[in-house]
Structure 1
């Protein structure tokens, strides 16, 4: 049976059907690296370099002359519009909906044409698509003539998690269309494939050639390759300290979200491979640098490809590590695709190949392929932030009590006019949908007790000469950590850490304070002592910042250093 793949990307969806013995005869994508990658790894079919939406609207003659008739159509419209990582799921969905409907239009035109041979079709996307796709579409809704209705959501249209289909990755995706239900091959979470199986099978990345040996593909046990014939694995991309420290905090101390492992937990399946290669975000995949506690690296392209269940001899045609990473992260895991292909083959009574059917094209002399092996990839260098782009919203580090936390933010500033305001807020709850924000005005009414208020006063005196006006605080925030350290400057991060250290010193003096709440006149009316203290101290600090005169009117006590006012 023949297969056509729309929004084919690097070919993960196609690869699963190839592994099951189907003929992938056609693919479409408008991203050149994806087109080349699909073409090189599936050389027996045609790959069309163009726009799916435009294809879907061609005249009948052009449409059917370009797109062959096939028994199976598969497709993965771009999911970024529907992803929860896109502005917390609140990004613009209009383009995503158009592309999804373009795919459905193609399916409908092939399904309802005269003498159609189309028997099965599958649409894959992120789970959030379920909120935007209809159960069925009329011809009119798809911009077509006729009185047919395309049923989209059937009884087996639901979320499927790749970890139950032999993929070492916790990756949930929504599938709908017309297809038999694929059978899970792993019955419980206790039997899923852990990340360490993939990493140990590949071996630690090598920067230099030494000790060549044979590697068995962790996903396809009858596929073996010599160590140094495996592409995009023998290099190290070390993560700079400023990046992994930011990632560590985002993973282990992120506002409304739960705690994540840092570095990755090797005893569980990998988290979802994303399309964007990042080293400083909550979603970043961060591995321990071998034999070093405080050095970390990004996964190699081969590691993420194997986590996705691509075969070892599959190649990704990009001119950089981020492009190759995107090719992998955007794909459908081949083993998950294989489960759908196998279900169709079994229903049709077709034999499934025994073992791994090797690729028909050899790559040894391929000059188009850019190899990452033995590349020297420098660590990223921290750059200054742009004043009009640098938004700040962090709470006192690792201080969460009963889901309360104290945040410092500049989000209420007028960034276009360069008018910066720094606010202190109390946040409560887990999950963005449930959040509550409080901003009590009269902190002097907080019944902290005279002893603690006196200590706050002493603490403020130790840092007040490092405080600067709001505009200058924004300038400090935009500097690199290295610049701040060299000049002894105190930006918002440093302020929060100083406050955290002060709170710890108070709690060490009286452990009972950890379990005490204090009542206040304004909402939320009752606060854990450490949260109340944090809000009290940080508010006092920011009141001093806000009350400071403009830089032109400051006394001779201050001097300018690189356009930044600091006290001496």
Structure 2
């Protein structure tokens, strides 16, 4: 039921409203949103023009309770998630500051006394609410509001995106889950295809139709160049800590989480095979992101900067989800729920259309001291254990070399890869193994002897042409590491002794046994010893023997 006993529509307010993802879902469910509140002016403009209700530009923290409208049945909102997100400084955000917004939201609920309320945030918020609701916690005083929290995957509610979110409120979550039969399960590929080349566009989520000339913000970016592809692939496929992702992103599944900020070379960005240019890959357009975030194709984003539109979309709660949540808040039976395709026709996009913002272009200007830091794919393990090619920008000219890191998040250990280590390890080998090792390292040594190392920084910072690129060096090290690992895998006794010798050279016999992460090195000793030899060989040729990584670097965490 979306009307009161007196026959009027249920009235709602939307806090921390952004562009109106909550408001649109509630509207489509027959609920009147009488006011939205957000501090970002251009988001409020977008909300007002699309949802046709008052959207006030105000810091919700400073909002006076007496200024709120009366006779409110529903309160919804999405307090900022920045301080709670693990993507913010590895989860080390200011939780106390972030809780100020949650407390303000609940204070408004407490003051307005609506029939029902709901709040959205990142999944981490569920445990924070549980902890802070206990005796002595920052949220204990709100226990009378009947706070229930669940972590939901919005892909189960008609959103073509694997977006996990904490939803808190006092409504029937089981009823919400029962709407599953009314939702469509869409993939990234279906959304991209639906916005393709045809002159009539069919909205993949809401079933709307629009002629291509009326489709805004669907301007493809330039495809990623070779350098951007290498950086993206390293961040997604061979990251030293996080799980591997597909590259390009798979089209046969819902898309990964759409974020508010990303660059052409970020781990977070979604990269697809370009439908317009076979063999190339590109990032998503603004319109593709919006559809994947559950917005109708006629919803307009009013901003003159591409980055602002990405932020608007990434920060929004998908209206395709809030439509179903709104029905759960008013206890609509499953049998009475209309699909998004049925109700979407009621949404009329605003006029005039938003001007499409120019998309990002490949970076053209770089610092002459631009940093390079990539793990050698064949010589890395997860949990940060890796052999890493990097440049040292504090020297003049910039120097290049290979470092080895292991340990744990609280104590990162490094070993010096130099001529002395190489000599000691080669000297420990029986003659037949030494010949095989030197043969395996021969191609790398030949490459290094002719490489124009001075070119690498100039090419990497895009300051001029050259012969040897940093990625050429990385590829040669990768090949050498893979080859040498295979050779050493048949010599367990030697690799065990060699690993112990390398650790003792740097840290001494007594201390070495207590270093964190040694068990993992021992289990993978063929790979580690191969990396020690490859790295030491390269550093000798790169003349980086005098550059020593810190023996122990305490993590800030």
**TM bracket (short chain):** 0.7 to 0.9
Compared CA separation, residues 435 and 304, structure 1 to 2 (3 A): farther
In the alignment, structure 1 residue 495 sits paired with structure 2 residue 473: yes
C-alpha contact (below 8 Å) 1:13/1:74 kept by paired residues: yes
| Gap change, CA 1:157 and 1:328, over 3 Å in 2 | same
Report the alpha carbon displacement of residue 124 of structure 1 after superposing the two structures with TM: 0.6
Residues 18/415 of structure 1: CA separation in 2 closer, same or farther (3 Å cut): farther
Contact 1:276 1:322 in 2 (8 A): yes
Which residue is equivalent to 1:384?
A: 366
Structure 1 match to 2:509: none
Q: Contact 2:452/2:467 (CA < 8 Å) preserved in 1?
A: no
| Paired residue secondary structure (1:196) | helix
Contact 1:385 1:479 in 2 (8 A): no
Q: Calculate the TM-score normalised by the size of structure 2.
A: 0.78
The answer on 1:454 being equivalent to 2:438 is: yes
User: What is the aligned partner in structure 2 of residue 309 from structure 1?
Assistant: 294
C-alpha separation in 1, matches of 2:457 and 2:129:
43
CA contact (8 A) 1:384 1:479 kept: no
TM-score, with structure 1 as normaliser = 0.76
Cα contact 1:285–1:299 (8 A) shared by 2 = yes
C-alpha separation between the residues in 1 aligned to 2:101 and 2:476?
50
State which of 152, 162, 165 in structure 1 corresponds to 2:157: 165
Cα distance 1:202–1:358, how it changes in 2: closer, same or farther (>3 A)? same
Are the aligned partners of 1:19 and 1:353 in contact in 2 as well (CA < 8 Å)?
no
Give the secondary structure class of the aligned counterpart of 1:127: coil
8 Å contact 2:220–2:284 — kept in the other structure?
no
374, 385, 403: which one aligns with 1:394:
374
> For residue 196 of structure 2, what is the aligned residue in structure 1?
203
Q: Is the deviation greater in 495-504 or in 79-88?
A: 495-504
Selected match of 2:120 from 111, 124, 133: 124
> Is the contact between residue 295 and residue 319 of structure 2 (CA under 8 Å) also seen in structure 1?
yes
Mapping of residues 402-417 of structure 1, within 5 Å:
406-408=386-388
- SS of 2:13's equivalent in the other structure is strand
Note the alpha carbon deviations across 1:499-526, whole angstroms, 9 max, x for none.
223335557xxx6655654212134446
After superposition, what is the alpha-carbon deviation per residue over 1:56-114, rounded to whole angstroms, capped at 9, x for unaligned?
xx3xxxx3234544111111111122222222223333432222222222222323xxx
C-alpha distance 458-336 of structure 1, shift in aligned 2 (>3 A): closer
Between Structure 1 and Structure 2, which shows a larger proportion of helix residues? 2
| 8 Å contact kept, 2:388–2:403 | yes
Return the alpha-carbon distance in structure 1 between the equivalents of residues 89 and 307 of structure 2: 21
Could you report, residue by residue, the CA deviation over 1:302-356 in whole angstroms, capped at 9, with x for unpaired residues? 1111111111221111112221111111111112112211112226999767832
Q: 2:41 aligns with which of 32, 47, 70?
A: 32
Q: Displacement of 1:137 after TM fit?
A: 5.5
How far residue 225 of structure 1 moved from its aligned partner, in angstroms, is 2.0
Match 1:216 to one of 202, 207, 211: 202
- The whole-number CA distance in structure 1 between the counterparts of 2:451 and 2:395 is 27
Question: Residue 35 of structure 1 contacts residue 49 of structure 1 at CA under 8 Å; is this kept in 2?
Answer: yes
Gaps of 5+ in 2: 1-9, 504-517, 548-557
Number of residue pairs matched? Answer: 502
Report the counterpart of residue 180 of structure 1 in structure 2: 172
Q: Give CA deviations for 1:272-311 in whole Å, capped at 9, x if unaligned.
A: 1011142211111111122645412221111111111111
Matched, 1:323 2:308: yes
Does the 8 Å contact 1:21/1:353 carry over to 2?
no
| Counterpart-to-counterpart distance in 1, 2:364 and 2:379 | 27
Calculate the aligned-residue CA RMSD, in Å.
4.0
| Among 333, 344, 364, the residue aligned to 2:351 | 364
Find the aligned partners of 2:442 and 2:487 in 1 and give their Cα distance: 22
Name the SS for the 2:377 alignment partner.
coil
Compute the displacement of 1:527 (Å): 3.7
Structure 1 unpaired stretches of 5+:
112-117, 205-210, 550-568
Offset at residue 459 of structure 1 (A): 4.2
Q: Distance in 1 between matches of 2:137 and 2:22?
A: 27
Equivalent of 1:255 in 240, 257, 271:
240
